[in-house]
Amino acid sequence: MHSTLIMFAGRLLLACIALTQATVIGAHIEIGPMLGHVGSDEARIWIKSSQTASLSAVVSTQADLSDARRVDGPVLGYQTDNNGHVQINHLAPSTQYYYNILLDGQPSLTAPYPSFKTAPEHGEPTHLRFAFGSCVGHVGQLSAAA
């Protein structure tokens, strides 16, 4: 009986420590960030957070984000499975921008910060490169043939 009580108390203590750490650490990026549409004056950045959180982004033309402006996005929660995107407007054409994602106002990424380049103004000639990607899941399907 005494050893069962000690084991229960130990498990309860571990659960309390884990809950406290989850509360202190807060939300973090679980998947992403991924760029969506990037036009000549706008960009969309998608993420999935680990838990309910307010999504924001800071964007700057400086790699160190020294002149960054903040753009608020939606609250990521249960109804969206903690997924969402922030749309950044009023960008300059053909310009390199650096960004950081904020969850509940806290920076989620560290330097060097990711970046994107806006498209040129409508009608200007340009070169275009794009890539496709996909998830293979937790167990890849490209194993050795049987």
Cα–Cα distance, 113 to 97 (Å, whole number)? 10
pLDDT of residue 128: 78
Q: Which residue has the tokens 């293979």?
A: 136
By the 10 Å C-beta count (0-12 exposed, 13-18 middle, 19+ buried), 114 is classed as middle
Cα–Cα distance, 128 to 68 (Å, whole number)? 27
* Model pLDDT for residues 47-105, shown as the tens digit of each residue: 999 999 999 999 999 999 999 999 999 999 999 999 999 999 999 999 999 999 999 99
User: Which is it for the CA torsion 84, 136, 112, 30, positive or negative?
Assistant: positive
What the chain holds in terms of domains, given with CATH numbers, is 28-117 (2.60.40.380)
pLDDT of residue 122: 87
DSSP E strand stretches across 39-130: 43-49, 53-60, 69-76, 83-88, 96-103, 106-107, 115-117
pLDDT at 30 over 70: yes
Q: Are 20 and 57 in contact (CB under 8 A)?
A: no
Cα–Cα distance, 13 to 2 (Å, whole number)? 17
